Chains A and B, each alone.
Chain A
Amino acid sequence: MIAAHYRLHAGAIGYSAGKYSHFCALYPRQLFVSKSQMENICAALEPLFPCREGAIKTLGELIGDSREDYPSALYLFGHSGTGKTALTRTFLRECSRQQGVRIAQLNAIECYTTKIMLENMLDTLAPRQCTEESVRADNMLEFVEQLRRWHDQGGRSQSFLIAVDNAERLRDMDANVLPVLLRLQQLTSLNLCVILLSQIPFEKFYNKTGLTEVISIHLAQYNKAETQRILGSDFFQVRGHLLEQFSKDVQRLAICEAALTEDFYSNYLNLFLSVFYKACRDVPELQLTARKCFSIYLEPVLDGTVESTDVSRLWRHIAGPLRSALTQIYMRTEKPPEEQEGSAPIEDQSVRKLAQSLELPYYAKYLLIAAFLASHNSANQDKRLFVKHHGKQRKRMQTVNARAKTTEKMSTTLGPKSFTIDRLLAIFYAILEEKVGLTCNLLSQISTLVHLKLLSFVSGEQNIMDGSARLQCTVGLEFVLYIGKVVGFNVRQYLCDFM
């Protein structure tokens, strides 16, 4: 279909012959270009983006030549880390450099109002002589009119490319934004193409009024071999970097030079991906982590303890660090230089450490425990749990059967239930041995806990006054058990599940 589309516009060259002289005047260099512009661009891009040859070629065929009519909109989608943004950016830059196409690339997240988006677009698209006074566009109409004005001013031969990142945000903006962007070419009668980038397929954009059809290009996730190839492509850069790093240490430099072969690196990447590929396919993230771990991998070789060809021993050496790196992926926590080594990573926190590190005032701890108990016991058990002389309970077969709980029925595993503030305070006073007054300080602790996200409002946040607000405890059993241990309170004893 794309090919057909392309052929359809092939005739346009003939049409554009008329404006060719004009073109020559503007861009005299291009007269001598023998290869087609599209091939030039593709040739520039392909070494930068390995494994994306197909996508580059398609893009090149569609918008690679500014003398041809562009399709009105393109839709580029694929998961994060598949190179959508980077590819588009480089492509547009090449177009702008080689063919003088005016380009605009913006991120829809920034455009929290339509006005900002339009003005940003106009700013970057504006012809050079107009950049002095800032262009204003309050709405779509003004935007389109401004573009038309440029068209009339003699921008006839000028082509425009607009790329919008995170295009899924456009759906939440004003209703006319997305349809207008998709038909912008038609509305402005400029040679203009809007490229939308997103992570979701275009079907998710459909609304009641319908949208014009766009050409979708899918950037598939890289498979393992491709990932390895991409990661391996920066071998010389890594090597150069390492050699530079060891340039003072002659002995290490020698070892490094000898050991650092492409084979060695690809072996490493193979091991690395065997651990990481299941967890993460985001190439930039993998690249970053791979570089970080490579120095650890290289360490025994540099020390001379392990031969650079002894893959199995190297594996034994690297497996642990790789696994601990796996827990930290995406977190980007940086350690200060003085504790670069030796100290345990901060992220490696168990619940226990977390509970110990969280400093809460004494009563706040009790309130948290009370909230947990209120969340995980049903209200009709309260009397039995918290009142000293609650009377004898008759045992009936029914209750015995009901009591024989399976783990699915345990309320600690079912998740927290909501409770009212009255109940929270009642339990708080029941589990606290000493008597404390119901003071402002105590009540404000509840809101502090809510702020810290240890409790959360389920409903009725607005009408706390009439007692209908319901709260929920968001921390887990283990956490509360530790808090209980700190204040010397046995939480299990007061949970229905453990009776």
Chain B
Amino acid sequence: MDPTISVSKGCFVYKNGATRAGKKASSKRKRATGATSSLLGKEVIGQPFYDAYVQTWSQMNEHINRLQQQSYARTLGQLVEFVVGQGQIQDEILPTAALLTGINQPDHLSQFDTFTQRLHAQKAARVCVLQSRDCPTLKAAIEAMVFSLIEGEQDPEDEEEDVTDRDRKRLRRSHCTIKQLNSWYTNNFQAEEERKRQLVVILPDFECFSGNVLQDFILILSAHCGTLPFVLVLGVATAMSAVHSTLPYHVSSKIRLRVFQTQPAPTGLNELLDKVLLSPMYSFHLSGKAFKFLTHIFLYYDFSIHGFIQGFKYCLMEHYFAGNAYALCTDYSKALNRIKLLTHDDMETIRRLPSFRPYVEQINDCKRIIAVLTDDDYLKKKLPQLLRDCLLHFLLFRSTLEFFTELVGDLPRCPLGKLLRELYVNCLNRPITASPEYKECWQMLSFLSKEEFVAKVNKSLARTDHFLVEEIAPLELGEACISVLRPQLQSVRQLLDDVVMGTLEMMPAMSTDESRPAPSLTQVASRQELKAQLLQRSQEERHQQIPTTEFARSVQKVLEHIETHLVRGHLRALSEAPPLHELFVFSDISIVRRNIIGAPRAALHTALNNPHFYMQCKCCELREQTQLMGTLPDLSVVYKLHLECGRMINLFDWLQAFRSVLHASEDPDGEVAQEQIDPQIQARFTRAVAELQFLGYIKMSKRKTDHATRLTW
């Protein structure tokens, strides 16, 4: 009989039989199976969209990891050098490295992991990471440290080769003392004398440690520095002053502090965005709004790069899991293969895309329209061209964005933003040429001096060229993209030559209408009149807007050319993007917001105020939010009644109101004995109030009898 079959519901624990001896084997087994099994069932894993998702994500994830490794590399290199360089030990002075990491410490654990790996790779040190939660007392701190230094993560090969000469018997926590560590160190490392193994102790969240524990801890480490080569690494989230205020003189004089600065989080994010998310390599894109939403969480709330990546991953999942049609969101050639796998339903999904309709409308042949709408095979034949257009559009968009960023990024006050990500959002969200910021930019560009202007445009051209060669060329559709963009850039270059040649002389054509209003200025009677005239004239001039010099004219020409061909042509907003762009762009921001931003209070309020929202039952449907019904759950009724009260709630009044709400639905006559309260109702009321108290909405008042205090507003 199945051991879990029982009368009552329950939760059953199985010991998996993993002992320490078998731990290694079992963990290996787990790893082996882990690759194939997944939380999702077979029917999901087999789908093409899942395949596409996994491929895209693993590609991106690898890219992100690579990038982060690179950005950590410099600081970590210094840090490793510092640790390895602590050869000679001065008496009782503890070498200490303070790593100024910036806030959001969970992110930094990965940084310290990399650091640990490097040290292990060099066989230079044993590392232990001490979290503040493991160290409420000094005893716990020392025990945790010694335990993880001795027992700690040993790389498997190391374990196998040295298993004989190391005392491998399992340590009890209470045996983990400095003395134990000392004898362990002498046993294992004194023999291989040629280079001393450092014992690195990392405190990733310095601020969270209690001061007293930390002081004693440092004193102990420094006292043993002579025999055990300790190196302390502090992860400091705020500033060095935190270290100095935590450690009094008699402690800080026992350490030798070296400060290391890491890359600030916003810089890291910008790098991540520029190199990975906005890379033309990937066919998945975030819409301007979704993109802004994610960066907004990062910049305004938490500075957590890890959180950002997870949010992005969520978007990715959300995008692909919408259906197999979305499996087309990959490289061009892979997408071509996948077209064959699409079913009728998938084709219907594609037909329902909002951008499909304009595509149908622009076909003027009736038969073809019907074929597109009804014949799957016909549409499948059409798809490659559509997909190609779409992919090409994004490549062109991205390349032109590079040009545009260089052009307007460093204008004074940066009306459109100065970073690639800001411009990306601006361009995708709405037609950029219509915005006032864009006009401001254009005006500023035309005010630039000749040298500045030429240098700027040249720089933009160079950057775009570089981008085309470095990033676009290796791609599948790269050739096509370059062949479109090159001639346009070339013509900009030619126009720019005119600017270089252009002189500041007045154009003869202009001089004709120059003569008209000039003489009138002499015949003025009063100051006001003069002022009015001057104002009028300046306005007139602004209206004319016709550049007066050859140089200004050619500048205007260049700008016009850029606007018509590059900006209008390629930097189109999402609403004007080619058909089927929805397959490549994720824009459903509301669902992401609902799922990755927790708003517990709002959710609770909704649940209590309008239970129908979650329960979807027939009895609780409300016409309006404030409506009270007897059929609502008791808790909900009590909650809604309490919303109408002030700070103090009289329990008796509350009970009466509760009763009347219940009775209103049960018998409208209301002729039940007014004085006698049905004990059942009272019990229900009491229970609901207790639940409300449990949820933290009210508290029983101690000052006033039979009153409750509201805690929320």
- Please report A residues at the B interface, Cβ cutoff 8 Å: 80, 107, 109-110, 112-113, 116, 119-120, 123, 282, 284-285, 330-336, 346-347, 349, 354, 357-364, 422, 436-442, 444-445, 448, 451-454, 465-467
Contacts and interface: CB of A to CB of B under 8 A. Distances in A.
Given A80-B250, A444-B302, 14 more contacts: A107-B223, A110-B220, A110-B223, A112-B139, A332-B93, A346-B259, A359-B102, A359-B265, A440-B597, A440-B600, A445-B302, A452-B103, A453-B207, A466-B699
Interface of B: 78, 82, 93, 102-105, 137-139, 142, 177-179, 205, 207-208, 216, 219-220, 223, 237-242, 244, 249-250, 252-253, 255-259, 264-266, 297-303, 597-602, 696, 699, 711, 713
Contact of A441 (B256, B264, B266, B597): B597
B241 A354 contact: yes
A358 B250 CA distance: 27
A483 to B, nearest CB: 13
Contacts of B266: 359
A364 B300 CA distance: 8
B259 A333 contact: yes
A354 B239 contact: yes
Contact of B301 (A123, A285, A347, A361): A361
Nearest to A338: B78
A113 B696 contact: no
B684 to A, nearest CB: 24
B253 A282 contact: yes
B241 A334 contact: no
A109 B214 CA distance: 12
B299 A362 contact: yes
B252 A116 contact: no
Contact of B257 (A333, A363, A437, A440): A333
Contact of A334 (B142, B257, B264): B257
Nearest to B217: A109
Contacts of B239: 349, 354, 357-358
A349 B242 CA distance: 12
A349 B258 CA distance: 16
A379 to B, nearest CB: 15
B301 A363 contact: yes
Contacts of A116: 177, 179
25 contacts: A107-B219, A107-B223, A110-B178, A110-B220, A116-B179, A119-B179, A331-B244, A331-B257, A332-B257, A333-B257, A334-B256, A335-B258, A347-B240, A349-B241, A359-B102, A361-B303, A436-B300, A438-B599, A441-B302, A444-B302, A451-B205, A451-B207, A452-B103, A453-B242, A467-B696
Contact of A438 (B105, B297, B302, B602): B602
- The interface residues of chain A, by DSSP majority, are classed as loop
A359 B303 contact: yes
A53 to B, nearest CB: 24
Contacts of B597: 437, 439-441
A258 B51 CA distance: 81
B454 to A, nearest CB: 36
Give 8 nearest A-B pairs by CB, closest first: A440-B598, A441-B301, A362-B300, A330-B249, A112-B139, A439-B599, A334-B258, A333-B257
Contact of A112 (B142, B257, B600): B142
B78 A336 contact: yes
Contacts of A284: 253
B252 A113 contact: no
A354 B244 CA distance: 13
A467 B697 CA distance: 10
A220 to B, nearest CB: 19
A361 B599 contact: no
A114 to B, nearest CB: 12
A452 B238 contact: yes
Contacts of A120: 179
Contacts of B205: 451
A448 B304 CA distance: 12
Contacts of A444: 302
Contacts of A448: 103-104, 302
Contacts of B601: 438
Nearest to A438: B601
B253 A332 contact: yes
B240 A349 contact: yes
B430 to A, nearest CB: 20
A469 B290 CA distance: 37
A354 B241 CA distance: 8
B668 to A, nearest CB: 40
A317 to B, nearest CB: 27
Contacts of A451: 105, 205, 207-208, 237
A335 B265 CA distance: 24
B179 A359 contact: no
Contacts of B696: 465-467
Contacts of A123: 179
Contacts of B249: 282, 330
Nearest to A113: B139
B591 to A, nearest CB: 16
Contacts of B302: 361, 441, 444-445, 448
Contacts of A349: 239-241
A347 B258 CA distance: 12
B279 to A, nearest CB: 26
A452 B256 CA distance: 23
A262 to B, nearest CB: 26
Nearest to B242: A453
Contacts of B711: 466-467
A360 to B, nearest CB: 6
A437 B300 CA distance: 12
Contacts of A333: 240, 257-259
Nearest to B296: A362
Contacts of B82: 336
A285 B207 CA distance: 27
B419 to A, nearest CB: 16
Contacts of B238: 358, 452-454
A285 B252 CA distance: 11
Contacts of B298: 361
Contacts of B237: 451-452
Contacts of B256: 332, 334
B216 A452 contact: no
Contacts of B179: 116, 119-120, 123
B252 A361 contact: no
A481 B301 CA distance: 21
Interface-centre pick from A120, A360, A444, A451 (highest chain B CB count, 10 A): A451
A285 B250 CA distance: 10
Contacts of B255: 332
A360 B300 CA distance: 9
Contacts of A112: 137-139, 142, 216
B178 A361 contact: no
A422 B298 CA distance: 25
Nearest to A454: B238
Contacts of A445: 301-302
Nearest to B713: A422
A454 B713 CA distance: 27
A349 B104 CA distance: 23
B297 A441 contact: yes
A334 B255 CA distance: 10
Nearest to B81: A336
Contacts of A454: 238
Contacts of A465: 696
B223 A346 contact: no
Nearest to A288: B253
A442 B711 CA distance: 19
B332 to A, nearest CB: 38
Contacts of B297: 441
Contacts of A362: 299-300
A437 B299 contact: no
